[in-house]
Structure 1
Amino acid sequence: MSRLAAQKLVQRRLLAPSLNCTRAYHPIAKDYVAPVTIAPLTYTTDSLQSKLLDHCLAHNVPKYGFKESAISESIKELGFSPSLISVLGASNSPSFVHSSPAVLELIKYHLVTKRHALTKDIPQENIDHNNGLPSLEELLIKRLQMDIPVGGQLTDLFAQLSVPSQYLMETALPELFNLADDMIYFSSERDHFDMAWYTKRLGVAFTYATSKLFMSQDTSPNFEKTMEFAHDKLHNVMKLGDYYNNAEEFAWYTLMVSVNLVKSQLARK
């Protein structure tokens, strides 16, 4: 099944009938709606994991950051068993900067669900006829605005994402490129089917990444300067073909963050 088809199937699973309900003796479609996942997540949108991480992102990440304490606080507030945190990120390898698998799962959930929410309401017929689609800039700005509630925690987020690791290669970078692919596919931007396909997605990916980096240091009201920066950066990449400089800037920043983060961890020992 294609990723687009899977996205169309994402919906809340219907609640199972109670014991007092009478079940029909003939097949009814809603009785057989299977739970679905949003790849690369491995649990359904109505699972305990999703409920916990949704609550954590909305209520505790803005206060505590992308840390285990934010997850623990949500577990307490929701009345879940404390043992849930030990299995939450079982599929993730621990980070050498002491980010637990559960924290890495929280970050993954944030990236994946925001990417999905960005385009889930765009009708398929609009895509088929290339009619009524948002512009690439509109999708870029919308995605940045989704992070305003956690804007004060973006430095912490990037510090964990930028560390060279298995998580960076298998989760962070693939999600960045999936986001760029979605923004182009679901926008009115003309697509290409040659080498321009790769360069355009690389340019959009790093436009988003550098805009997010700018956002982590932005103190303007409602991140207005970030939105202006994103507009200018996208124009330079898409109209002037500034792919190389954009990628170079991001790579250099990633290197410096990684070096400084390792130094800070060594200094604590």
Structure 2
Amino acid sequence: MSRIARSISRRLYHPNALEHQAKFPLFPLTYGSDSLQYKVLNNTLKNHVPEHGFNERAIVASLNELELGSSVLSALGSDNSPSFLNVAPSVLELVKFHLVTKRYAITQELDSELANSDTATYNAPALKTLFQRRLELNKPVAPHLSQLLSILSIPGEFLVKSALPELHRLSDDMVYYSNETDSPDFAWYSKRVAISSAFVSSELFMAQDKSPDYGQTFEFAAEKLDRVTRLGQYYTNTEEYLWYTLLMSINLAKSQLTRC
């Protein structure tokens, strides 16, 4: 079975005309890996966010290291509106860059394998494997996850147009590339919202975890995901309740982080 046929059979249960028509290879980012934006943000995330956090200071440090002028700063977040809590558009773009590139990172090799195989030969990993692989990618910035989650939970345009959709895409990709059984009905939405809630909870736990190599975070994540899949919680209740649970998870993150 071709990749396109496999994709149609497994993914297109929701209205998304752009699923196989993304103009940019790192959709929804509006630039490619050969662009100046990508160069600056990638360098910021790798070399300066671990020290400074998700803020303009990290971006400015990156611009100085790359010997670029400060005028680049205003162009980085041109697609974003400032949040009402004065989070700069460039910082919002840095957060979006982190979310998108880490999502692609966990499936890049699997995407190549899937494109060159059929259903019978594709060796799909477990959902738990992909879930924990994504948490592993948080380790370099784990001391700043509180700040990240706080930015993501600010009510406004960025939450609605970037944070929540990207969280949904992450859950969608983890199910799609894993050996998890899927279903072309209401359970499709329910499952992804439940997985998204589990991931938000795990990141919140990781933000406060002081155990060696974040061992307790991965134990917590495994238990959370197991509860979702083993008990079938994504098949119960109503869509409104599931979205309520997701939003409450994010609001809980915000309220907890304000106490840190």
Could you state the TM-score of these two structures normalised by the residue count of structure 2?
0.83
Question: Between Structure 1 and Structure 2, whose CA radius of gyration is higher?
Answer: 1
Q: Deviations over 1:233-254 (max 9, x none)?
A: 0110011123469876653343
Tell me the distance in 2 between the aligned counterparts of 1:102 and 1:116: 21
Could you state the TM-score of these two structures normalised by the residue count of structure 1?
0.80
| Residues 1-269 of structure 1 aligned to structure 2 (within 5 Å) | 3=19, 36-122=24-110, 123-124=113-114, 125-126=116-117, 128-129=119-120, 131-243=122-234, 250-258=246-254
Give the fraction of aligned pairs with identical amino acids, expressed as a percent. Answer: 41
Unaligned runs of 5+ in 2: 1-16
Contact 1:97-1:262 within 8 A present in 2 as well: no
Q: Secondary structure in 2 aligned to 1:131?
A: coil
Tell me the distance in 2 between the aligned counterparts of 1:208 and 1:117: 16
Q: CA deviation at 1:165?
A: 0.6
Q: CA deviation at 1:256?
A: 4.6
Kindly indicate whether structure 1 or structure 2 has the higher relative contact order, using CA contacts under 8 Å at least 6 residues apart: 2
Cα pair distance change 1:257/1:133, threshold 3 Å: closer
Contact 2:204-2:253 within 8 A present in 1 as well: no
Tell me the distance in 2 between the aligned counterparts of 1:248 and 1:82: 41
Unaligned runs of 5+ in 1: 7-34, 265-269
Cα pair distance change 1:49/1:192, threshold 3 Å: same
Q: CA deviation at 1:126?
A: 4.7
Q: Deviations over 1:89-134 (max 9, x none)?
A: 0010001111100000000000001101110101124563363111
Tell me the distance in 1 between the aligned counterparts of 2:245 and 2:202: 11
Contact 2:135-2:203 within 8 A present in 1 as well: yes
* Aligned amino acid, residue 103 of structure 2: R
Structure 1 range deviating more: 219-228 or 244-253: 244-253
Structure 1 segments (4+ residues) deviating >4 Å: 243-250, 256-264
* Aligned amino acid, residue 254 of structure 1: I
* Aligned amino acid, residue 252 of structure 1: M
Q: CA deviation at 1:71?
A: 0.1
RMSD: 2.5
* Aligned amino acid, residue 160 of structure 2: M
Tell me the distance in 2 between the aligned counterparts of 1:229 and 1:126: 34
